[in-house]
A and B are shown apart, each in its own frame.
Chain A
């Protein structure tokens, strides 16, 4: 059985590679084609974690996925809660979302009418995961998300942040995702919300990053974690933010997008 699966994977990978390299357009290949209209195809790749443990970094290989091109919108989420009443704000259980769940919606089925195409926020990790599952997917992992969106912090983040605030744009937008160069032409968008990840609760960040002292030794087991590149302010913000979340939090600036594994 296992051999069959492995063999299939090898064949699939071969097809993908052949398709990627192939001259035939606009077909783009079997793998790319398996993504839906609002998704982008993300080829396999390697993610270099923000943290190192001990003395070395451990690159993580990520498999190809189809990823929502933009965070899930209010309108898309509305369709979901229509079809799945247990996720409406009047019915949601406290375990799965805190009181602020869909706080900006007037009632169960009424988002702000002028924001239908905006990312849905005030959604918990559970609600985000349930949405993706209903669409045949899941939340992207930290490695998948960071590998796609984690690059591109401006050289001088302080100026960038101040500039954004001045112009009325979302402060820290630079930390909320910047397309990897290889995906820049795919139409993938990061409109300035934080995003849930499947394993948001993996980072052990408390206090400062950059030294071993950051890890609270009374609460955490394992070698202290240190940033590979302490000057990566965007990554610092994201990892701090994620580690401060609980699964039932529903926050104003926190949305999500979905990943689908390519079968």
Chain B
């Protein structure tokens, strides 16, 4: 056994650990420390810090995705529909496009209409560098594979109201138990 091999094995384990639960002092791990700037589909500029105060369910998608993105968004809609009333008002839904080139603001607005996304859903567009950085923080991998399509992780991240990752959902086959439980636990 040698250092290099450990160097490979350790991050694998750590990555697994990170996906389940992140415990730390507040704000040290807040993704709102990222200095990136975004534009909502309605044209309003937004800094991530502006999301502070509410919990978020956040996912990276792109609108021309025919594979799993619609499943991800549908799952988030299901979480939204079935969320207990006591926490419903404290959660916001955020979709960030990984394909800012194709997903212009009009395209995002059309997507909102098509997917029937309510007002409390935010659709964000940013520079490729800022998307790459946000993805890196979330542990979301993606790469353009052929014209218009991306290979990417499937991931819904739950952020507490300080912007810290409290849960990451990678499997959308089940019900809303895990997500709801994470929200309930960290909703304070």
Contacts and interface: CB of A to CB of B under 8 A. Distances in A.
Contact of B145 (A223, A244, A254): A223
A171 interface: yes
A245 B11 CA distance: 6
Interface string A242-257: 0111110101111000
B28 interface: yes
Contacts, number: 113
A253 B4 contact: yes
A149 interface: no
A223 B33 CA distance: 34
A244 B33 CA distance: 23
Contacts of A95: 28-31, 33-34, 137
A94 interface: yes
Interface in A90-105: 93-96
Nearest to A199: B132
B9 to A, nearest CB: 8
Contacts of B68: 221
B45 interface: no
Contacts of A245: 11
Interface stretch (A3-11, A14-22, A201-209): A201-209
Nearest to B8: A241
B136 interface: yes
B151 A165 contact: no
Contact of B2 (A93, A165, A204, A254): A165
Chain A: interface secondary structure?
A: loop
Name the residue in B8, B14, B15 with the highest tally of chain A Cβ atoms < 10 Å from its Cβ: B8
Contacts of A202: 141-143
A17 B158 CA distance: 51
Given A95-B28, A254-B7, A204 B139 contact: no
Given A171-B4, A221-B69, A53 B146 contact: yes
Nearest to A53: B145
B7 to A, nearest CB: 5
Contact of A246 (B4, B139, B145, B150): B139
B15 A244 contact: yes
Given A95-B33, A246-B14, A223 B7 contact: no
Contacts of A222: 67, 145, 149-152
B14 A249 contact: yes
A180 to B, nearest CB: 22
B152 A221 contact: yes
Contact of A247 (B136, B154, B155): B136
Interface string A173-184: 000000000000
Interface size class of B (residues with CB under 8 A): 35 or more
Interface in A203-233: 203-204, 218-223, 225
A222 B142 CA distance: 10
Contact of A221 (B4, B33, B151): B151
B7 A253 contact: yes
A171 B173 CA distance: 42
B136 to A, nearest CB: 4
B46 interface: no
A249 B143 contact: no
A93 B65 contact: no
Given A204-B152, A247-B137, A218 B171 contact: yes
A218 B25 CA distance: 32
Given A95-B33, A251-B7, A246 B135 contact: no
A93 B162 CA distance: 14
A240 interface: yes
A201 B14 contact: no
Interface in A109-130: 125
14 contacts: A93-B29, A94-B28, A171-B2, A202-B143, A218-B154, A219-B153, A221-B68, A221-B150, A241-B7, A241-B8, A246-B11, A249-B14, A251-B7, A251-B11
Interface of A: 53-54, 58, 93-96, 125, 165, 170-172, 194, 198-204, 218-223, 225, 237, 240-241, 243-247, 249, 251-254
